[in-house]
Amino acid sequence: RGLVAQNVALAVKVPNAPRRGNKVIIPSKAELRAILAAAGSSENLMAQAMVELLIYTGLRASEVRGLAWRSVDLRNGKVRVESRADARGAHGAPKSVAGVRVVPIPSGLVITLREWKLACPHHADDLVFPSPKGRVLSHDVMGKKYLKPIMIAAGVTKPGKDEDKAATKYTAHVFRHAAASLWIEQ
């Protein structure tokens, strides 16, 4: 509009903010083997299937929580990621456009998922990992009831707080990084 004769902000330099994110520490191969062994010897078939799916596919926790049986192709060994469940349990599209994908699964996981499908309670949403009430499993329950016992059995822990003697060393999200690292290595 010609109201300002010069750009007074031209000499201002905005510094780049340093990246302060914590470096992701992924489980070692020995820890992954121990976790998978503990999952395989677990009496909780749902926990076994969940841990194996997280490690072998690199799915986000929200994608695992929102995964329906119609998206699992056991005959061809593939999982179609086409939805996720948010913190409130609402179903929606994956986090990004690239989040819609088909992920191959190994034959051992196919066997575990077949066994779990036979034992899985039927419910309206047809979720692979439902809550006891047939709803979307909360992220908190997923960690405490299913992942934590497997990691404690595997000895993959760190000192806990308060009355918790041991806490899980890794979260569900770390398995996403572990899967990507293993794929890159291959």
pLDDT at 14: 82
HSE-CB for 74 with a 13 A CA cutoff:
15
Query: How many angstroms separate the CA atoms of 124 and 132, rounded?
Result: 13
| Chain-centroid distance, C-alpha 66 | 11
Per 3-state DSSP, what percentage of the chain is helix, strand, and coil (rounded to 5)? 40, 15, 45
Least confident span in 13-17, 63-67, 133-137 = 13-17
Q: Tens of pLDDT along 65-76? A: 999 999 999 999
pTM for this entry: 0.83
Instruction: Tell me the pLDDT tens digit for each residue of 166-180.
Output: 788 898 999 999 999
